[in-house]
Amino acid sequence: MKAVAFAYARATSVVNALELLAAHGDKAKVLSGGQSLMPAMNLRLLSPDILIDIGGLAELRGIAVRGDVLVVGALTRHVDLLGSPEIALHAPLLRDAVAHVAHPAIRNRGTIGGSLAHADPASELPACVLALDATIVVRGPAGERRIAATEFFKGIYETALSPDELLVAVEVPVAGQGTAFFFQEYARRHGDYAIVGLAACAVVAASSFSDLRLGFFAVGDRPVLAAAAGKLINASVTPALLAEATAALADELDPQEDQQATAAMRRHLAAALLRRCAAALLARPELEKGATR
């Protein structure tokens, strides 16, 4: 488990990183926290010729509020999301989610940019940015592109990023009045990738949802913004309606089977999460049991 020999360049600026990427094309890999890239290289699943280390780029760090947008730099580490007052105030979903990502040693290094660019369908943060309706900011040779989170994830480890682009930041709309969040996942052990998880963002008014965005993860080849949420918006949520929504959810999801769970089990757990989410956000515990059983 030793990586194939590779060259290493420490980028001095975003511009420099982009130059290096342009020069080496898909023979290069960006190194951020290294928590996904290095294991893959040690297992020889990946063998880039050169690593471009962006770890020293201050321009990619930091969390700031600009108007009604929270800007999170690509190099923001998981541990920073956990501790940041801005995140706690404006996007607590990220804080709640990141508590489920791996373990402290990994959270001390792993970055939000790396997590999104890596696009593991079982990852927490990609589902969160879907639920939060965030925008992914990328820079390439032709300048800056802004990609809606819903357009960013293309498949297992696949995104809208091209090899010569750098993910530089994530923009999250600041949470407004009545916005509520829910995060829960089922994982065999604390810190494991989830079997199924849900990151949800809702606007609750008068005991019903005036908006509901359900970001499911580990249910397919990419995070899924469930259309089934539509059934619960601006409606009186009864156990029967919830059952209808969970049935629609089961149809909509196309989960894979792996060693932890069959597709049927993933659908079952996704439905349980949806019930728990509705029960929690509407503060109606009786909804959790559902009408199914």
Ligand X SMILES: Cc1cc2nc3c(=O)[nH]c(=O)nc-3n(C[C@H](O)[C@H](O)[C@H](O)COP(=O)(O)OP(=O)(O)OC[C@H]3O[C@@H](n4cnc5c(N)ncnc54)[C@H](O)[C@@H]3O)c2cc1C
8 binds other proteins (CB under 8 A): no
Nearer to ligand X, 93 or 281 (CB): 93
Backbone angles phi, psi at 283, to 5 degrees: 55, 45
253 binds other proteins (CB under 8 A): no
- Half-sphere exposure at residue 91, Cβ-oriented, CA atoms within 13 angstroms: 31
- 49 to 88: interface string for ligand X, x by CB under 6 A: -----x-------------------x--------------
Contact yes or no for 54/41 (Cβ under 8 A): no
- Among 183, 186, 209, 216, the residue binding other proteins under the rule CB under 8 A is 186
Backbone angles phi, psi at 220, to 5 degrees: 180, -160
Nearer to ligand X, 162 or 234 (CB): 162
In the list ligand X, other proteins, none, the entry touching 159 (Cβ below 5 to 8 angstroms by class) is none
Region binding other proteins by CB under 8 A among candidate stretches 70-78, 110-118, 159-167, 253-261: 253-261
Nearer to ligand X, 166 or 279 (CB): 166
Min dist CB 36 to other proteins, Å, is 11
Could you give the CA distance from residue 293 to residue 284 in angstroms, rounded to a whole number? Answer: 17
Overall residue count recorded for the chain in this entry: 293
- Among 41, 84, 93, 111, the residue binding ligand X under the rule CB under 6 A is 111
Q: What is the DSSP letter of 177?
A: T
- Among 20, 37, 273, 287, the residue binding ligand X under the rule CB under 6 A is 37
- Half-sphere exposure at residue 26, Cβ-oriented, CA atoms within 13 angstroms: 4
269 binds other proteins (CB under 8 A): yes
Contact yes or no for 128/93 (Cβ under 8 A): yes
256 binds other proteins (CB under 8 A): no
Name the 3-class secondary structure at 281.
Answer: helix
Q: Which residue's structure tokens are 């290094």?
A: 109
199 binds ligand X (CB under 6 A): no
Among 132, 267, 105, which Cα is nearest to 202's?
132
Looking at residues 274 to 293 of the shown chain, list those that interact with other proteins (rule: CB under 8 A). 289, 293
Rounded to 10 degrees, the C-alpha dihedral 153/155/160/164 comes to 130
231 binds ligand X (CB under 6 A): no
Min dist CB 270 to other proteins, Å, is 11
Which residue type sits at 21? L
∠ CA 258-262-267, rounded to 5° = 125
In the list ligand X, other proteins, none, the entry touching 32 (Cβ below 5 to 8 angstroms by class) is ligand X
123 binds ligand X (CB under 6 A): yes
Region binding other proteins by CB under 8 A among candidate stretches 17-25, 170-178, 185-193, 240-248: 185-193
Strands (E), the chain: 7-10, 28-31, 50-53, 63-66, 69-73, 135-140, 143-148, 153-155, 158-159, 166-173, 179-186, 196-205, 208-217, 224-225
Contact residues for other proteins, defined by CB under 8 A: 1-5, 43-44, 186, 188-193, 195, 259-262, 264-265, 268-269, 272, 289, 293
Contact residues for ligand X, defined by CB under 6 A: 29-37, 39, 54, 74, 101-102, 106, 109-111, 113-115, 117-118, 123-125, 161, 166-167, 191-193
